[in-house]
Amino acid sequence: MEHHRLNKTLLEEEKTPQEAVANPDYEHPNVTLIAAASENDALGKDNDLLWHIREDLQRFKDLTCGHAIIMGRKTFESLPKALPNRTNIVITRNNDYQATGIVCCSSLEEALDLAKDDPQPFIIGGGQIYQQAMPFAHTLELTRVHDHFEADTFFPTIDPTIWQEVWRETHPKSDNQPLAYTFITYKKIATS
């Protein structure tokens, strides 16, 4: 056992930093994916959101503050600026990409490696990154918006053999909010 561990360490040291990042043995044990999607899994259109639900934005802030937030370059560019009180990690294939208040990386694996000291990093979108992150996630914090929207970006289908709903809180339409929505927490119960 000890021998194997030593060999593994020696092998790690022979890798270039790029190889070590591209193939990390390390898997983060507590990755949460947070999203808001309509009944037809719509997430966004023209690099913008489809609705404004104040309570959903507040819940997003409450859950993610103090943590690493991992996002695709397009989602980052849909924000006015890096989100405060969080480590903003942006995934892009452009090695020269830079912006104030962010850390850049070139893959989801590298992003999770950058977040390895965070006990609960969050994947915050968008569609491309959610699709790639489903196998890495342990928890889904989904806001299901109970309507159908025309969109160009969609959330992946949630497979009920892999994800089990463990909590939900429903919010009916109100005078202030014409959309009904439900906060739902899923836990991964199997791998694909």
Ligand X SMILES: NC(=O)c1ccc[n+]([C@@H]2O[C@H](COP(=O)([O-])OP(=O)(O)OC[C@H]3O[C@@H](n4cnc5c(N)ncnc54)[C@H](OP(=O)(O)O)[C@@H]3O)[C@@H](O)[C@H]2O)c1
Q: Residue 146 corresponds to which tokens in the numbers above?
A: 């109970």
Query: Closest separation between CB of residue 90 and ligand X, Å?
Result: 8
Size of the site for ligand X (CB under 6 A): 27
Of 118, 121, 125, 188, the residue at the interface with ligand X (CB under 6 A) is 125
- 25-64 footprint of ligand X as x/- string (CB under 6 A): ----------xx------xx--xxx---------------
Site for ligand X in 141-160 (CB under 6 A): 153
Distances (CA, A) of 70 to 62, 67, 125, 162: 16, 10, 8, 22
Task: Determine, following the binding rule CB under 6 A, whether residue 185 of this chain makes contact with ligand X.
Answer: no
User: In whole angstroms, what is the distance from residue 60 CA to residue 34 CA?
Assistant: 8
Strand partners, 140: 33, 186
For residues 113 and 157, the answer to whether their CB atoms sit within 8 Å is no
Task: Determine, following the binding rule CB under 6 A, whether residue 83 of this chain makes contact with ligand X.
Answer: no
Query: Closest separation between CB of residue 13 and ligand X, Å?
Result: 26
Distances (CA, A) of 83 to 36, 60, 78, 113: 17, 11, 12, 20
Task: Determine, following the binding rule CB under 6 A, whether residue 127 of this chain makes contact with ligand X.
Answer: yes
What is the DSSP secondary-structure string of 40-90?
T-EEEBTTB-S---HHHHHHHHHHHTTSEEEEEHHHHHHSSSPPTTSEEEE
User: In whole angstroms, what is the distance from residue 66 CA to residue 51 CA?
Assistant: 25
Task: Determine, following the binding rule CB under 6 A, whether residue 120 of this chain makes contact with ligand X.
Answer: no
Task: Determine, following the binding rule CB under 6 A, whether residue 2 of this chain makes contact with ligand X.
Answer: no
Task: Determine, following the binding rule CB under 6 A, whether residue 121 of this chain makes contact with ligand X.
Answer: no
Of 33, 129, 140, 179, the residue at the interface with ligand X (CB under 6 A) is 129
User: In whole angstroms, what is the distance from residue 137 CA to residue 144 CA?
Assistant: 18
Query: Closest separation between CB of residue 172 and ligand X, Å?
Result: 20
Binding region for ligand X (CB under 6 A): 35-36, 43-44, 47-49, 71-75, 78, 91-94, 106-107, 124-129, 132, 153
